[in-house]
């Protein structure tokens, strides 16, 4: 038995953040029913990346909507809305990520739904919250990253801002929504009352940066300055960063320079042994490390550093990652099947329960494939 067996979740959300939250609830055992438009459904069905499709839908849709059911309904049609309201009255959780005011205009805002089902946990995802001048701006991952300072933390000083190379805020915000929903369900077990859980991409972005942002708030009012060489964290001193070797790249985290001088047999680091200058002279130190590491292979340096318990690692790409025993031991992959039998290899839920991993074989649902079974 999974922890959320018997919990019914209605997923009205589209694209990534909201569906990501519903996906994690499904992984934990909930019955998740997507409520989609009759024509086209979730817009993620047509959001194709790397030209990969499965039948008429994008591969991405199946990645983020595996193990769900799908019903179709025109929420602006009175009959369809009444059928959905009957479904809401029997649900435990409802999720949507429409812009502020949309669900209220449709007639499915929180106060209306709460009257239908006081035990319901109502979860919403927005870009920037529900008030303020940005409330109706498009809440898209890259745009929110750009507004929150995140791209100025990656890349080297002097370079243009560098955003995260994937939808980091959608995924993080979706997980924040899961945390809130689970807390509300736990409270409901005591009080019998549901509640409203609200998350937004902007707040998730700020929360992700809390360490550096707090330093900024209590500092001199200036943005953290990236190091000019091998920048990996704008607030950490040398040698923290990624360095090229003869056959690839190696990451080195927090390490005393004096210890590094000894292990790397690098006399040029001798003037920088004082730990007090590891941050103020990080570029000078990193320049020495960079030039020295270029002389040997990644494995050569790992053989010196790892036995001494220095925090270091080879920089792997996906093909090389898949060949490692460490990745195999995680058992992070699973095969799912679509309604037409197409097999897709994807990742599993990262949570383990009672010593076991959480997997399911069901792919994303065909549009409206469960309408009659659920609403008929």
- Express each pLDDT in 90-118 by its tens digit: 999 999 999 999 999 999 999 999 999 99
Rounded Cα distance between 151 and 360, Å, is: 36
Mean pLDDT of 251-264: 97
What does the pLDDT read at residue 44?
Answer: 96
Strand order across the beta sheet in which 249-252 lies: 241-244, 249-252, 312-314
Q: Please report the sign of the dihedral spanned by the C-alpha atoms of residue 138, residue 141, residue 142, residue 148.
A: positive
Q: How many residues does the chain have?
A: 376
> Mean pLDDT over residues 243-254, rounded?
98
Mean pLDDT of 17-42: 97
State the pLDDT confidence band at 39, using cuts at 50, 70 and 90: very high
- Residue 239, judged by CB atoms within 10 A of its CB (0-12, 13-18, 19+), counts as buried
Catalytic residue annotation: 170
Cα–Cα distance for residue pair 203/86, rounded to 1 Å: 33
Q: Which helix (H) or strand (E) holds 291?
A: helix 282-293
What are the structural domains of the chain? 8-207+330-375 (3.40.50.10540), 249-314 (no CATH)
- Helix then strand count (H, E) for the chain reads 15, 15
In angstroms, rounded to a whole number, what is the distance separating the alpha carbons of residues 91 and 97? 18
Per-residue pLDDT for 279 more than 90?
yes
Identify the three-state secondary structure at position 241. Answer: strand
For the chain, the average pLDDT equals 97
Cβ(26)–Cβ(360) below 8 Å:
yes
Task: Give the residue from 365, 346, 349, 369 showing the smallest Cα distance to 357.
Answer: 349
Give the integer Cα–Cα distance in Å for 301 and 204. Answer: 38
* pLDDT score at 81: 96
**253: Cβ–Cβ under 8 A, 6 or more apart, which residues?**
240, 311, 312
Mean of pLDDT values over 43-65: 95
* The pLDDT of residue 102: 95
Residue 376: pLDDT band (50, 70, 90) is confident
Kindly report the number of other CB atoms within 10 A of residue 205's CB atom.
Answer: 22
Map residue 160 onto helix, strand or coil. Answer: coil
Which pLDDT value is given to residue 61? 97
pLDDT at 157 over 90: yes
What pTM was estimated for this model as a whole? 0.94
Residue 126, beta-bridge partner list: 200
What pLDDT sits at residue 296?
98
Pairing state between β 195-200 and 69-72: unpaired
Residue 270 per-residue DSSP state: G
Decide if pLDDT at 350 tops 90: yes
What confidence score (pLDDT) does residue 233 get?
95
How many Å apart are CA 255 and CA 57, to the nearest integer? 48
pLDDT at 262: 98
């Amino acid at each position: 038995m999974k922890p959320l067996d018997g919990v019914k979740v209605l997923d009205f959300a589209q694209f990534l953040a909201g569906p990501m939250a519903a996906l994690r609830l499904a992984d934990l055992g909930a019955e998740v029913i997507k409520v989609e438009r009759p024509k086209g459904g979730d817009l993620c069905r047509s959001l194709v990346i790397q030209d990969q499709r499965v039948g008429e839908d994008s591969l991405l849709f199946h990645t983020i909507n595996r193990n769900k059911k799908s019903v179709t309904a025109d929420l602006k049609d009175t009959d369809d809305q009444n059928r959905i309201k009957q479904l809401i009255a029997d649900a435990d959780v409802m999720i949507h990520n429409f812009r502020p005011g949309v669900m209220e205009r449709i007639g499915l805002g929180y106060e209306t739904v709460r009257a239908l089902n006081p035990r319901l946990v109502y979860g919403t995802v927005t870009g920037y919250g529900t008030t303020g001048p940005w409330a109706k701006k498009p809440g898209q991952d890259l745009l929110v990253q750009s507004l929150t300072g995140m791209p100025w933390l990656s890349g080297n000083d002097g370079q243009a801002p560098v955003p995260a190379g994937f939808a980091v805020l959608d995924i993080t915000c979706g997980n924040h929504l899961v945390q809130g929903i689970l807390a509300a369900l736990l409270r409901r077990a005591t009080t019998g009352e549901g509640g409203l859980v609200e998350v937004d991409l902007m707040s998730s972005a700020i929360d992700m940066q809390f360490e550096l942002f707090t330093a900024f708030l209590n500092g001199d009012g200036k943005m953290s300055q990236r190091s000019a060489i091998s920048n990996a964290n704008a607030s950490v001193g040398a040698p923290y960063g990624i360095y090229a070797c003869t056959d690839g790249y190696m990451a080195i985290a927090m390490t005393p320079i004096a210890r590094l001088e000894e292990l790397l047999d690098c006399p040029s680091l001798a003037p920088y042994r004082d730990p007090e200058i590891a941050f103020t002279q990080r570029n000078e130190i990193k320049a020495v490390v960079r030039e020295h590491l270029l002389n040997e292979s990644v494995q050569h340096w790992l053989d010196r550093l790892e036995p001494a318990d220095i925090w270091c690692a080879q920089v792997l790409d996906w093909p090389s990652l898949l060949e490692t025993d460490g990745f195999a031991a995680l058992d992070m992959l699973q095969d799912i099947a679509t309604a037409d039998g197409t097999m897709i290899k994807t990742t599993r839920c990262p949570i383990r329960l009672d010593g076991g991993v959480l997997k399911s074989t069901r792919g994303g649902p065909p549009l409206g494939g469960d309408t009659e079974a659920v609403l008929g």
